[in-house]
Amino acid sequence: MSLKVKGIIAAMVTSMHDDESLNEEEICRQVERHIEAGVDGVFCLGTNGEAYILSEEEKIQVIKMVVKQVNGRVPVYAGTGCPGTKETIRLSKIAADCGADVLSVISPYFAAISQDEILAHYTALAEAVDLPIVMYNMPARTGNNIAPETVVKLSQVDGIVGIKDSGGNFDNMLQYIERTDREKFSVLSGNDSLILWNLLAGGGGGITAVANIYPHVMVSIYQNYIKGDITAAKAAQDSIRSIRDCFKFGNPNTVTKKATNLSGFPVGPCRAPFNKLSESAVAAIKETLKTDHARGMN
């Protein structure tokens, strides 16, 4: 449980063939691409990994593939959050058996939930599994926000080592950072645009979707920060604004995969029905990539 969660963790897309079946060779190639870029970890089965639409068999297959390809070079984070506590525990134990190093666990979703129920859910998980747990706060998808008061309590539970905040509310993330022990508990930004500001506030870094498109740029935010070159870190952070602006054209997962494909990496489509972008959207993404690549972004 001594693993320190920090740095740039790539929120990997799940590569697929045109028929939407898993593309095992490309999944492995993407692992290599991220490690070559210098990421501090790879994260499979998150939002960008389309965990919401994969079968359990496919999830197990992806974890095993990623763990084998990584071969201990960086920590492997696996998304195991389900709406129910029992199912979350069961899938988390499977992920542990598959060799995952860290669990990323989204808060229960769909049904309304209280903070006491969130507290009980994560506490039960921590008691049941022997892997570090990073909670995942994503109110836009779950319908609930993990309150700072709840995070303070959970940060003191053995085995819960951090939280990824994708809420986009910087004050909420700032309270997570200010009110927890930074030596024992890490707060990561799930919003690519806030990674540097997370670090400057005392956070641990970010779990990033844009790493699928520009892994070297995302890694450079953190590397320049730890070297003390804040000017370079800010330039890297600012450089992703144009591609982030493209997320307005549709499901961010779909935009991320389209941009990755257009950059020359055949990660395939998102699974239907989450796979449609207008011609104008694709044209805008192409133009953004052209400009960014001309600036040397990769």
Residue 262 lies in a domain: no
Residue 250 lies in a domain: no
The pLDDT tens digits for 216-237 are 999 999 999 999 999 999 999 9
- Quick check: 1 pLDDT over 80? no
CA atoms within 13 A on the CB side of 94: 18
The pLDDT tens digits for 63-103 are 999 999 999 999 999 999 999 999 999 999 999 999 999 99
Domain count, the chain: 1
Residue 198 lies in a domain: yes
**Beta-carbon contacts of residue 171 (< 8 Å; ≥ 6 apart):** none
> Distance between CA 16 and CA 13 in Å, rounded?
9
Residue 280 lies in a domain: no
Residue 187 lies in a domain: yes
Residue 278 lies in a domain: no
Q: What is the pTM of this model?
A: 0.96
- For residue 2, what pLDDT is reported? 58
Helices (H), the chain: 24-37, 56-70, 85-98, 115-128, 139-142, 148-154, 170-178, 195-200, 215-227, 230-239, 241-245, 252-262, 279-294
Is residue 164 flagged as an active site residue? yes
Query: Using an 8 Å Cβ cutoff, are 50 and 22 in contact?
Result: no
CATH code: domain of residue 105: 3.20.20.70
Confidence of residue 3 (pLDDT cuts 50, 70, 90): confident
Dihedral pair phi/psi, residue 112, rounded to 5°: -60, 145
Task: Give the domain range for residue 26.
Answer: 7-227
Is residue 6 flagged as an active site residue? no
- For residue 159, what pLDDT is reported? 97
The helix or strand, by DSSP H or E, that contains position 111, with its residue range, turns out to be none
39 burial class (0-12, 13-18, 19+ CB within 10 angstroms)? buried
Distance linking the first and last C-alpha atoms of the chain: 34
- Quick check: 249 pLDDT over 90? yes
C-alpha Rg value of the chain to the nearest Å: 18
Say whether 103 sits in a helix, a strand or coil: strand
Residue 35 lies in a domain: yes
- List 6, 164, 257, 258, catalytic entry: 164
- Quick check: 37 pLDDT over 60? yes
- List 136, 176, 214, 222, catalytic entry: 136
The pLDDT tens digits for 119-152 are 999 999 999 999 999 999 999 999 999 999 999 9
Confidence of residue 4 (pLDDT cuts 50, 70, 90): confident
Residue 56 lies in a domain: yes
